[in-house]
Each structure stands twice: as C-alpha cells, then as structure tokens.
C-alpha cells in the first residue's frame, strides 16, 4: 500500500544550515513513520535538494510547477522555521501564506508545522488570518508564537511543541578538528553570528566578547558560519576587529556542525539553530537574540543566563565583559540545567510528528 504524498514548503535550498537541518530531520522522520510515502520539497535549489536527500524537489519560484506539486500532494506541510512573519519582507509572508491558501483551496489537508510566527504588523496579521484559516492542524515551536497565531485562526487548535532539530540524532563517529586548526590544549568556544541591523555595534561587541574569552580565560575561539557566505562575511569582519586570533571554520554539514558544537565548552550564538544544537548536546550557550524566536527559546527552556546583549542595545563595555565572565564561569550550572530540561523539549519536538499522524489518520490521503 502506497503511503501519503507529502509536499513540504519552507526556506529550503538556500544553503542555510539551520533550515537544512530542519529539512533533514523532517524528511528522516517522515520516512521512518511512512516508509512507503513520497516526499516533494519546494526548493530554491531543486537539483541540490533532490540529490542530497533523495526526494522530489520542485522549483519554489515556478508558479505552475508549484501548483502541480500541490495537486499531486495528499498532505501539505508549511514549515518548519520562521515563515509567517513580515519583519523580513511582506513579499516573503505573502509567498508562504499564499502556498497555504492555494493548498487549502485545492482541498489538501495542510498543516502549519513547527513554525515560529511573527513578528507580524497589522497587515501581516490580516494576511495570516485570510490565508491560513483553512489549515487542518498547526504546531508552533514556542509559546509566544502560539499566543500570536491562535487568535488569527480561531477554528484551529494551535499546539506549542518545539523545534524538530531537538530530535536530531548526532553522529557517533568522532570528528578530527586538527585539520581546521582546532588542536590547541585549551578549551574551545564556538561563535555563530549572522548579518543583521546595527552591524557596527554588533561587530564591536562580539569582538570584545571573543577577546575577553581568549585573553582572560585562555579560550580558543572559532566562528562557525551556519548561513553560508553571508555569515562568513560577518564573521570575518569580527575577526579583523578582534585583538586575539579567532579562526573561521569552512562550510560544514549538519553532522559536522553538531560534532564541532559538541566539542565546545561554550557557544556564543545569534543563529537559532546553533543554540538549539548546543542545547540538544547539553553544551552551555550564551545568546545574542536578534529576533524574538531566540528570546522565545530562552524563555521556553527557562534558561538561567540572560543574553549577552541585544543588537542595537547600548551596553557599557564593563557590563558586556562581566556578562561574558558570568557565562564562562557558569558553564557547569548551565549544562546541568540543559540536561534537566532538554528531554521534555525533545518530546515536544516529536509531538510535531504525532500531530501530523493524527491529521493523516483523520483526513486520509
């Protein structure tokens, strides 16, 4: 008996390791639960996505091809990730919400899957209300998103779960870091930054944090660019600003990123999935929340360390250095906290797929 035909809509095929990690986990879990199913992904790089994951991939910008993919599908998943927001652009929101509307109008059981929702202005809320009210199920990866989305689609139960990457199983084999110059005797800190507003002050602040770790605590610092070349450019600007000698790591796979993060004594992160992978591996982290989804992660984990700074915030240098020292000294306490709370978060990550199972059973192909 042939399983359901899934169509996945998200920010896939653009070389962002966090989003590709989401897709890896989703595809893997779908194959585990529905071994005879077929999977189609709307992708910015259809050939690359198809080759990497062995799925069908449809060019996401081809309106006709997307329409045909929706017609072929039995179930449409919108997510995961931060798709329903218009802080990036209204065009982005209209694209993702439009896919949902096309799918529901075609009579396809459609699920908002493991998303962060917002920020949404008045127009953004109207778009979500009009386009997404017909979904069959909805899960979001933080409580803030649930509180925002639920009133916009009142006929749908919106369930708070967790990011699917919390269910990621890291590889067992050890990674030799000597090839990347990370063979020093001291502890290792991994930094994951991205391009955002207030670049000059953010560059100065992160450089000061890196120098403090290196000079005061003897830490070797390496930048891990999870978002590809744009993240590498930001990292390079910070490295040039620093007085110490941090290194820039090359693009890596999800498995390699997890192994690198797993070897760290501390992760400094703007990128959400750098922090999620660290938490999944019980590695203490210090956040730089550029977006509400990062702040929401801290809240949902009841994380006992406040952010190092918020981009655009005017933080005195002495305060920034004190926060850096606190993060370093509290590593054992932070790791213990993660060991206590992450198992429940992993269960919530699996819940996304349980809700999908309920939808498939209820609606049928």
Considering the domain boundaries, does residue 247 fall inside one?
Answer: yes
Instruction: Tell me the average pLDDT across 62-89.
Output: 95
pLDDT score, position 253: 85
Q: Which residues of 138-160 are buried (b: 16+ CB within 10 A; e: fewer)?
A: bbbbbebbbebbbebbeebebbb
120 with 229, same domain: the answer is: no
Find the CATH number of the domain harbouring 64: 3.40.50.2000
Contacts of 139-142 with C-beta under 8 Å, sequence gap 24+, read 139/111, 139/112, 139/113, 139/114, 139/115, 139/351, 139/352, 139/355, 140/112, 140/114, 140/115, 140/116, 141/80, 141/114, 141/115, 141/116, 141/293, 141/296, 142/116, 142/293, 142/296, 142/297, 142/299, 142/300
- Domain of 261? 178-342
- Does the pLDDT value for residue 179 go beyond 90? no
* Band (83; pLDDT cuts 50, 70, 90): very high
Distance CA 149, CA 152 (A): 5
Considering the domain boundaries, does residue 196 fall inside one?
Answer: yes
Considering the domain boundaries, does residue 25 fall inside one?
Answer: yes
183 with 144, same domain: the answer is: no
* Band (283; pLDDT cuts 50, 70, 90): very high
191 with 252, same domain: the answer is: yes
Mean pLDDT in the chain?
94
* Band (252; pLDDT cuts 50, 70, 90): confident
Instruction: Tell me the average pLDDT across 25-51.
Output: 97
pLDDT tens profile 322-361: 999 999 999 999 999 999 999 999 999 999 999 999 999 9
Instruction: Tell me the average pLDDT across 238-263.
Output: 92
Number of domains comprising the chain: 2
- pTM for the whole thing? 0.93
* Band (174; pLDDT cuts 50, 70, 90): low
């Amino acid at each position: 008996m042939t399983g359901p035909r899934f169509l996945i809509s998200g920010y896939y095929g653009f070389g962002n390791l966090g989003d590709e990690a989401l897709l890896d986990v989703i595809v893997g879990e779908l194959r585990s639960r529905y071994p005879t199913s077929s999977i189609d992904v709307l992708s910015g790089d259809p050939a690359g996505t198809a080759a990497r994951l062995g799925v069908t991939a449809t060019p996401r910008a081809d309106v006709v091809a997307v329409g045909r993919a929706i017609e072929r599908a039995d179930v449409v998943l919108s997510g995961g990730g931060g798709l329903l927001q218009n802080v990036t652009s209204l065009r982005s929101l209209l694209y993702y919400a439009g896919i949902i509307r096309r799918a529901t109008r075609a009579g396809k059981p459609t699920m908002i899957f493991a998303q962060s929702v917002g920020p949404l202005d008045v127009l953004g809320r109207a778009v979500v209300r009009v386009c997404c009210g017909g979904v069959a199920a909805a899960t979001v990866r933080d409580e803030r998103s649930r509180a925002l989305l639920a009133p916009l689609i009142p006929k749908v139960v919106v369930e708070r779960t967790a990011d699917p990457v919390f269910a990621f199983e890291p590889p067992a084999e050890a990674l030799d870091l000597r090839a990347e110059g990370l063979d020093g005797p001291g502890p290792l800190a991994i930094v994951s930054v991205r391009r955002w507003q207030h670049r000059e002050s953010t560059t100065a602040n992160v450089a000061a944090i890196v120098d403090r770790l290196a000079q005061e605590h003897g830490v070797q610092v390496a930048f891990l660019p999870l978002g590809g070349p744009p993240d590498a450019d930001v990292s390079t600007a910070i490295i040039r600003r620093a007085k110490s000698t941090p290194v820039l790591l090359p693009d890596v796979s999800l498995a390699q990123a997890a192994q690198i993060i797993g070897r760290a004594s501390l992760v400094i992160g703007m990128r959400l999935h750098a922090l999620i992978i660290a938490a999944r591996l019980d590695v203490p982290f210090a956040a730089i929340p550029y977006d509400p989804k990062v702040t929401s992660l801290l809240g949902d984990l009841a994380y006992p360390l406040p952010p190092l700074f918020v981009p655009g915030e005017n933080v005195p240098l002495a305060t920034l250095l004190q926060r850096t020292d606190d993060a370093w000294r509290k590593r054992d306490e932070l790791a213990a906290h993660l060991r206590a709370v992450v198992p429940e978060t992993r269960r919530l990550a699996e819940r996304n797929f349980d809700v999908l199972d309920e939808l498939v059973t209820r609606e049928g192909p």
